[in-house]
Amino acid sequence: MLDNQPLIRTTLLKVAELAGATVVNDCFHRFSPQGVSGVVVIAESHLSIHTWPECGYAALDFFTCKPGMPMEAAFECLRTELQPGQMEILMIERVQLAPYPIARLR
């Protein structure tokens, strides 16, 4: 499954939908001889995935600036579609930025 680009794309788009994200665009690439990388750009930020089928490993990042997204449904979709033997989830809350710009570009 980790080398199946259409499945991975469909799954990540479904994950974004289940999380209530607004999909802007997506781009996926299958490497030769194996592996898939892809990104789903969402209005709230992005999802990305990189797979290493030869190692039985995939890394997925889901960045969002929208609080309260129903991530449990998204995680369950990943579990159902990709059927990992083990799944580790690390959620990191972003800190609230100061109400003024940290850097100003001109």
Q: In the block, which residue shows the tokens 């889901």?
A: 62
Catalytically annotated residue among 45, 46, 55, 77: 45
Per DSSP, what are the bridge partners of residue 49? 38, 60
Q: SS3 for 47?
A: strand
Question: Hey, which bits of 1-106 come out as E strands?
Answer: 23-30, 36-42, 45-52, 57-64
77 annotated active-site: no
Active-site residue among 29, 37, 46, 65? Answer: 65
Q: Is 27 part of the annotated catalytic residue set?
A: no
Read off the amino acid at residue 102. Answer: I
Q: Which residue has the tokens 């992005």?
A: 46
CB atoms within 10 A of CB 64: 19
Which of 37, 50, 55, 77 is catalytic? The answer is 50
Annotation says 50 is catalytic: yes
- Active-site amino acid positions: 45, 50, 65
